[in-house]
Structure 1
Amino acid sequence: MVWEHGCTVIVMLSALVEDGEKQCDRYWPDEGSSLYHIYEVQPTTLSSASSGPLNTSSASSAPLTLFSTQETRTLTQFHFLSWPAQGIPTSSRPLLDFRRYCTHTTVFKKM
């Protein structure tokens, strides 16, 4: 679906696991290149933004290659890491900082 719709950015707000419960499926490889059906994915960490003692967000970029045509596109994923498992954050500041971080990344400036 990412390929079909020409997506270049994914923004993820939930953790993969919260309080021991699976929240969503991991759809990207840990390291190196991985083959998913007809696509090759090779993730690269772009950066991590810190707020206080814990990282609150991350960004990674992955070239996706369609084997039938050898066409390659770059997909960037932003991941907000500090949404609480239950309820809402005590402050909106980390989420607003994350939004600013995503908006000021060069990926969006090219769009």
Structure 2
Amino acid sequence: MAPRTHGSAYTRIYCVVRAIPAGRVSTYGDVARQAGLPGHARQVGYALAALPDDSDVPWHRVVNARGEISRRSAGPLSERIQHALLRQEGVRFAANGRIDLERYGSSAS
């Protein structure tokens, strides 16, 4: 089943998220800017929350501006899944639970 969308905005968001390489992350704000929606980081969160469970969009590669996994309405299991998926891709978390965006950000080299 296709996710409920808000026109082409969600489609653009999903295209940007699909382009984040494995082992890298991007922030909600960066995804919004790249999708042509500057200032709409929350809309990125809504778009990712609308994805069906079997989606191929790598939602787990999107984190908040502090490099943290954001709390989700789906609960702590979703956060643990995101953490595990990122670790499987080689992303490392600091002791404070944050990801070094300079090292793992999708624009990092």
User: After TM superposition, is the score higher than 0.5?
Assistant: no
Larger strand proportion, structure 1 or 2? 1
Higher share in helix: 2
Q: Which has the larger radius of gyration?
A: 1
Q: Using CA pairs under 8 Å that are at least 6 residues apart, name the structure with larger relative contact order, 1 or 2.
A: 2
